[in-house]
Amino acid sequence: MKTMTARRGKAGAGTRLIQLRFLAHARSGDKGDTANVGLIALEPEYYPILRKEVTRARVARHFKGMVSGVDRFELPNLNALNFLLHGALDGGGTISLKTDAQGKVYSTALLRMEIPVPAAIARKARRAP
Amino acid sequence: MTARTVRVAAGQGFWGDWLEAPVRQVQGGPIDYLMMDYLAEVTMSIMQKQKSRDPRMGYARDFVPLMERILPDIAAKGIRVTSNAGGVNPRACAEAVREAARKLGLSGKVRIALVTGDDILPRLDELLAKGHELRDMDTGRPLAAIRDKVLSANAYLGMAPIVEALRGGAHVVVTGRVTDTGLTLGPLFHEFGWATDDWDKVAAGTVAGHIIECGAQSSGGNLLRDWRKVKGLANPGFPIVEASADGTFVVTKHPGTGGVVSVPSVTEQLVYEMGDPHTYITPDGIADFTTIQLRQAGKDRVRVSGIRGRERTDKLKVSIAYFYGYKAVGTLVYSWPEAYDKAKAADRILRQRLADLGLEYEQILTEFVGVDATHGPLAGPPTADLAEVQLRIGVRAKEKAAVERFTREIAPLVLTGPPSVTGFAGGRPEVQEVVAYWPALIDRTEIEPHVRVEILEP
């Protein structure tokens, strides 16, 4: 649990790159060949960061070669974003040959993504249990 | 003074859920309703296959012994049950429950209602002839393209027949393809006498239904946030909605049970299988999930309020299942050292053999479990000293023969391929029929006049 990715990289001055798993929790499900990932901020103050940094384009880049298109919806009332990952399930439902044919753990694959955050936020997120 | 609340408890979140849950919901504290959701997208086709082999089958059979266990308590406490366990044969299911009640000496004490009219398989050609194309909502193809392969076709019904059944005094309501959320909406509209065009109330009940329809998935099961802190999952408390007449409700669970009901646990369930959150469409109305307000209101109590809705559409969704082809999945385990390289070599050899045999597949998919099965390339390269890797190869084809032969090509790799291989004790992989899902829309005016509610004679 102590492996941590928080590095300067392309993050710019005063910011750090940090994996989404330290900022959000998530659950995913399916509808046909589309997987959805609901990304929920661990703290209310992380939500504006997620909203700004976890864009449709960056999520599409993250899943390059794994999905054919991405939609994003905002749920500020739940401090959450919902992503639709089209073509993610290799046909989906009963057709798919994948272990994760119903996209149950696609959520965790999104949590691997790194985004830049202010250094103070990175320190706080890293300290959280 | 306490305002009147109605308690709707979840007993099953899918066909195959924990069998103890309904019993503990009934015995663990006060509830008014027990809702049991059995139907996922492909469940109907499985049931249709069973019914075609035996006309007495075609429903969730384990519902009947479950009801046998809880009927005495239900009768004594006045708890009422709503369930779509009837699948493609709700009549046989309802009659089996009635028989169970008779055996328990509860005839006359437990009234059983049967809801029919969702099954449009017998009417399919008539509907197509009338110009309903039943196009696939995802691909736009008209149903005519696969008409001869259709195995089941059911319209999603809403709460209306459940409300009618409860008004008729039913203690157990058995339905076919009623929406998961309708099983919760029905009791709430019956109890509070809400107008069915009060769209905010429809939306509130829909959200309540969505939160509990997957059972413990909103009360600590499959909860990612702080998962190590979720205690007592050996005896998980399934969720209960305590609804008020103003459309607000509290999500909770029985005292003394495991799991947790928290803002995070409810939020994770809210986003599960979510599409456009502004427009969650059910037969009864449209819920706007961006209006939901959650607040922790005590231990294992989450208050839900603020939910807004919009008018229902004039269409109902139809779930059609059709025969697609065949598939099989074979696995072998390769051990350290160089486990991943051995598994990759075995995959190359197997593919070469299939090609040399001239076998053709729609798809061959290889996954290396422990390396890339769930995260694909995002997982990065594996460490060199992996203890083992499972090679998992799946094939799919329209013709059974090619899939059949594939199932006989796995075991030979043990003595004719890379070394350090095990995990084949299960024998040859099984050839599975692929039954695919075809979602479509139909005018509600074609369905609703055919919906019937019967109270079975005791």
Return the number of CB contacts < 8 Å for A and B.
Answer: 121
pLDDT reported for residue B112? 98
Report CB contact under 8 Å: A36, B365: no
In this prediction, residue B433 carries a pLDDT of: 93
Amino acid at B95: E
pLDDT confidence of residue A128: 77
Question: Two tokens at A119?
Answer: 């250094």
- Average confidence score pLDDT of chain B: 96
DSSP B298-322: STT-EEEE--EEEPPPSEEEEEEEE
B322-331 confidence digits (pLDDT tens): 999 999 999 9
The reply to whether B430 touches chain A by the CB within 8 Å rule is no
Q: Edge-to-edge strands of the sheet including B285-288?
A: B280-282, B285-288, B308-310
Contact predicate B269/B214, CB 8 Å = yes
The neighbouring-strand residues paired with B9 are B34, B240
CB B173 within 8 A of CB B35: no
Q: How far apart are CA B20 and CA B282, in angstroms?
A: 30
Tokens of A107: 């959520």
Q: Residue A11: what pLDDT? A: 65
Q: How confident is the model at residue A2 (pLDDT cuts 50, 70, 90)?
A: very low
Q: pLDDT tens, A91-106?
A: 988 899 999 999 999 9
DSSP result, B384-416: TT-SEEEEEEEEEESSHHHHHHHHTSSTTHHHH
Instruction: Give the Cα separation of B426 and B409 in Å (integer).
Output: 14
Determine the angle formed by the axes of helices B182-192 and B160-167, rounding to 10 degrees. Answer: 50
What percent of chain B has pLDDT above 70?
100
Q: Does A98 sit within 8 Å of B271, measured CB to CB?
A: no
* Selection from B108, B56, B113 nearest residue B83 by Cα: B113
Contacts of B278 in chain A (CB under 8 A): 73
Residue A4 scores a pLDDT above 50: no
The total number of residues shown for chain B amounts to: 458
The pLDDT of residue A9 is above 60: no
Alpha-carbon gap, residue A88 to A66, rounded angstroms: 6
For residue A12, pLDDT beyond 90:
no
Interchain proximity B375–A108, CB inside 8 Å: yes
Residues of B in contact with A65 (CB under 8 A): 376-377
Token pair listed for B80: 């009422």
Average pLDDT, chain A: 92
Instruction: With a cut of 70, list the residues of chain B below it in pLDDT.
Output: 1-2
The reply to whether B272 touches chain A by the CB within 8 Å rule is yes
Strands B172-174 and B80-83: parallel
Which of chain B's residues have a Cβ under 8 Å away from the Cβ of A94? Answer: 42, 324, 434-437
